[in-house]
Chains A and B, each alone.
Chain A
């Protein structure tokens, strides 16, 4: 089993739709979680961190479920500009820094 798993998609949704992605992780010692966005042939950029209590940033909501070892990203009112690949990142705590990326979930928002 991979350390961080994501459904590669693509998720093909109309503008205005709500879409949710999940990301599962295998290491229960994982402490920090992030969602990154990567546009085609571009570098990843941080979308949001994922906090234990859940957090929201505009149309984006991130949730963490430690018991089931997954994080989620919800996008409401999808825009054409949301089309991208969404990468989840899991980080173990401690002095050493080893981030593990999922393979990404592709989102295509169409008119």
Chain B
């Protein structure tokens, strides 16, 4: 176990709805990043948070947003859900500065299905 926990593990939502996914980072890790992994694809970087601010963002529209809290836990919010948003959402935490190449530890993910 990595110490990174995500909730919920599975979720079914209807197109147009909003969803919030949660991530609790490993103890001592101040940086959290979020990924979307579609079936048969590699994880796609959504964004990273360091000390409660977004630091680095992938090619995702603004309806994907996030938060990081003082205890370094994080949320991913997705508005106006689309069918293509169905995927495994992974959270990863790591220590150090944003530019450091420290190892990222992944949670087990939230599997989101949009119908």
Interface residue ranges, A against B (CB under 8 Å): 4, 6, 8, 32, 42-46, 49, 87, 91, 93-104
Contacts and interface: CB of A to CB of B under 8 A. Distances in A.
Contacts of B35: 101
Interface of B: 2, 31, 33, 35, 40-45, 48, 55-58, 90, 98-99, 101, 103-109
A104 B45 contact: no
A32 B101 contact: yes
Nearest to A44: B106
B101 A49 contact: yes
B56 A93 contact: no
B48 to A, nearest CB: 5
A97 B33 contact: yes
A100 B58 CA distance: 9
Contacts of A97: 31, 33, 48, 55-56, 98-99
Contact of A95 (B31, B58, B99): B99
